[in-house]
Amino acid sequence: QVQLAEYGGGWVQAGNSLKLFCQASGATGNWYTMAWFRQAPGKEREFVARIDGSRTHIDYGNFVKGRFTISRDNAKNTMYLQMNSLKPEDTGVYYCAAGVGVGGPSPDDYEYWGQGTQVTVSS
């Protein structure tokens, strides 16, 4: 099976940047679709971005489009999320996810999840 671990969360002021890392281990495949989700207290998990194994198909949630960039390094089994121009509404726990199939914006499309990393953006 696959294990995922997120790193890079923290506290920043609005307008600044953070870069998140997702390190995969175990029975990983370069063809796995990987994605980022986030969740604020009392709210449902929200789709952030998705990238397929070949790095040719990339999608973003409407609230982060134009500000965030998803990427992956298959040789290092690592996925990244570069977050620029952060806003207070970006605050939440960010989760790394992976799936065998062609994952979409639903959390149900992914069978492997990390533990999450907290991102806090202050005004």
Give the span between the Cα atoms of 119 and 117, in whole angstroms. Answer: 7
Mean pLDDT of 17-21: 98
Q: What pLDDT shows up at residue 31?
A: 75
Write down the pLDDT at residue 38. Answer: 98
Burial class (CB in 10 A: 0-12, 13-18, 19+), 84: middle
The yes-or-no verdict on residue 118 having pLDDT over 80 is yes
The pLDDT value given to residue 42: 92
Query: How high does pLDDT run on average in the chain?
Result: 94
Query: In this predicted structure, what is the pLDDT of residue 23?
Result: 95
pLDDT at 120 over 90: yes
Q: Is the pLDDT of residue 93 over 80?
A: yes
Distances (CA, A) of 9 to 27, 70, 92, 121: 26, 15, 10, 10
The tens digit of pLDDT for each residue in 45-80 reads 999 999 998 888 899 999 998 999 999 998 899 999
Task: Give mean pLDDT, residues 68-96.
Answer: 96
Is pLDDT larger for residue 69 or for residue 26? 69
**32: nearest Cα among 13, 5, 11, 4:** 4
